[in-house]
Structure 1
Amino acid sequence: MAPAAKIPSMLSDDEKKKLQNRLRRVIGQVEAVGRMIEDEEYCVQILMQLSAATGALGKVGQIVLEQHLKSCVTEAIESGDAADRDEKLEELIKIFRKYAGVID
Structure 2
Amino acid sequence: MNNEKKKAVFALKTAKGQIDAAINMIEEERYCVDVSNQVIAAQALLKKANLLILKQHMYHCVKEAFEHNQGSEKIDEIIDILSKITGK
User: 1:87 matched to which residue of 2?
Assistant: 73
Distance in 2, matches of 1:92 and 1:52, equals 25
- Structure 2 residue ranges without an equivalent (≥5): none
The structure whose residues are more often helix, as a share, is 2
Task: Kindly state the Cα deviation for residue 22 of structure 1 after the two structures are TM-superposed.
Answer: 1.9
User: 1:99 matched to which residue of 2?
Assistant: 85
User: 1:56 matched to which residue of 2?
Assistant: 45
Task: Kindly state the Cα deviation for residue 68 of structure 1 after the two structures are TM-superposed.
Answer: 0.6
> Which range is displaced more, 47-56 or 14-23?
14-23
Q: What SS is found at the alignment partner of 2:87?
A: coil
Task: Spell out, residue by residue over 1:20-78, the C-alpha distance to the aligned partner (whole angstroms, 9 max, x if none).
Answer: 22222111100000011001111111111000000001100000001111111111112
Distance in 1, matches of 2:79 and 2:24, equals 38
Q: Supply the AA of the counterpart residue of 1:89.
A: I
Q: Supply the AA of the counterpart residue of 2:82.
A: F
- The equivalent position to 2:11 in structure 1, one of 13, 17, 22, is 22
Distance in 1, matches of 2:8 and 2:47, equals 12
- Structure 1 residue ranges without an equivalent (≥5): 1-10
User: 2:55 matched to which residue of 1?
Assistant: 66
Q: Provide runs of 4+ in structure 1 moved above 4 Å.
A: none
1:43 is the counterpart of 2:32: yes
Given that 2:8 and 2:50 are in contact with CA atoms closer than 8 Å, whether structure 1 keeps it comes out as no
Q: Supply the AA of the counterpart residue of 1:20.
A: V
